[in-house]
Structure 1
Amino acid sequence: MLPVIALVGMPGGGKSTVGRQLGRQLGIRVVDSDAEIEARLGEPIRSFFERAGEDAFRRIESEVLAEILSGPGELILATGGGIVLREANRELLQRRCTVLYLRSTPEELFRRLRHDTQRPLLQVRDPLAKLRELFAQRDPLYRRCAHYVLETGRPSVHGLVNMALMQLELAGVVDPARVAATVGAEPAAAAGPVHSGP
């Protein structure tokens, strides 16, 4: 049985999009931790962030992560960009999951996110400078937490999904027979640039 496959990385790195495609290709459930948090809060993360502050958000994020990972069965988990800031989260992810770090440079992320108004940490005068600051802080934490690093560069979602599948197959995490039926067949929905969820 597949373990939990968790995707970590910067905001806008494609975790939600790649996670959905991986789940579709492998026929397993996909959970987006930010969507689970919003369901619990009953409001968008951005409004909660503005009202209650980052510390309160990070506490809830840790609780939701622990709940998601306490359940049985196969799972693809797309995490929020800041989930690695807490050591307990990093340890839990590394212990309970196979962790893929979708690594994008701040410049690549800025191209994708420059018109995004939903990410609380990027609603600043100079989003590129903020992305560089976040990357400098978080890149070492993603690397510490991850079992495998995938450089996103500029491939399509389909290209990234295939890279992830092949890495998981080589690692013995995914049965090759399960991958063979998916790699090389490009679904229409997988084309286009990488976008991420809230």
Structure 2
Amino acid sequence: MNTAPGPKQNIVLIGFMGCGKTTIGRILARMLGCPFVDLDQLIEEKAGTTISSIFAERGEPYFRLVEAAILHELAAPGPQRVISTGGGIITRRRSRRLLKQLGYVVWLQAPVEIILDRTRRNRDRPLLETEDPKSRIQALLDHRQPHYREVADLEIDTSGLDPEETACGILESARYHFAH
């Protein structure tokens, strides 16, 4: 893959929580020998607090503003990176435009039952703090799917795939994308 500086060479992973963005992103970055950026982790570092705390103290609209500002910083020219985003980043129009500018956007997906199974043990999911997380996941997915589809260059269902297999498939698709 061409590793010339510039935002167009990035691989950006989007998708709902629990679809494998962080795991697959780390594998891709290792394969490419480039930096891995976990946007949620970057937000926590810059804010000096957890995402759960930001949601609790300032609310989701404030969090989305911070998220968009940091995404804008990542859109500046720089080395090739693999970027894992938060699941709701696509809810703001500005963020969707920035995602497309960042490079090759891959939408990782999984069925609701698998997302529920992958996320049920994690207490750092403020949007799932509800009595009926399965219904909440379905409602969020229904709302977000058109936005994911709008920005995605590639869609992959991760439910039946090994993370290494998924990363290899993304890498081959990205090579083709960047070559053309």
Matched to 2:30, the amino acid is R
Q: TM (normalized to structure 2)?
A: 0.92
The answer to whether structure 1 residue 171 and structure 2 residue 167 are counterparts is no
Task: Point out the more displaced range, 24-33 or 106-115.
Answer: 106-115
Alignment partner for residue 49 of structure 2, among 43, 46, 56? 43
- Contact residue 6 and residue 79 of structure 1 kept, 8 A: yes
Matched to 1:113, the amino acid is T
Task: Point out the more displaced range, 58-67 or 153-162.
Answer: 153-162
Alignment of 1:87-126 (within 5 A): 87-126=93-132
- Which stretches in structure 1 are left out of the alignment for 5+ residues? 175-198
Matched to 1:162, the amino acid is C
Counterpart position of 1:153: 159
- Which stretches in structure 2 are left out of the alignment for 5+ residues? 4-8
Q: TM (normalized to structure 1)?
A: 0.84
Residue 61 of structure 1 and its aligned partner are, at CA, apart by 0.4
Counterpart position of 2:21: 15
Matched to 1:88, the amino acid is R
Counterpart position of 1:127: 133
- Contact residue 150 and residue 163 of structure 1 kept, 8 A: no
Matched to 2:91, the amino acid is L
Question: CA separation in 2, counterparts of 1:167 and 1:30?
Answer: 18
Alignment partner for residue 59 of structure 1, among 44, 56, 65? 65
Question: CA separation in 2, counterparts of 1:13 and 1:83?
Answer: 14
Name segments (4+ residues, structure 1) moved above 2 Å: 169-174
The answer to whether structure 1 residue 31 and structure 2 residue 31 are counterparts is no
Question: CA separation in 2, counterparts of 1:43 and 1:64?
Answer: 15
Residue 12 of structure 1 and its aligned partner are, at CA, apart by 1.0
Question: CA separation in 2, counterparts of 1:156 and 1:40?
Answer: 32
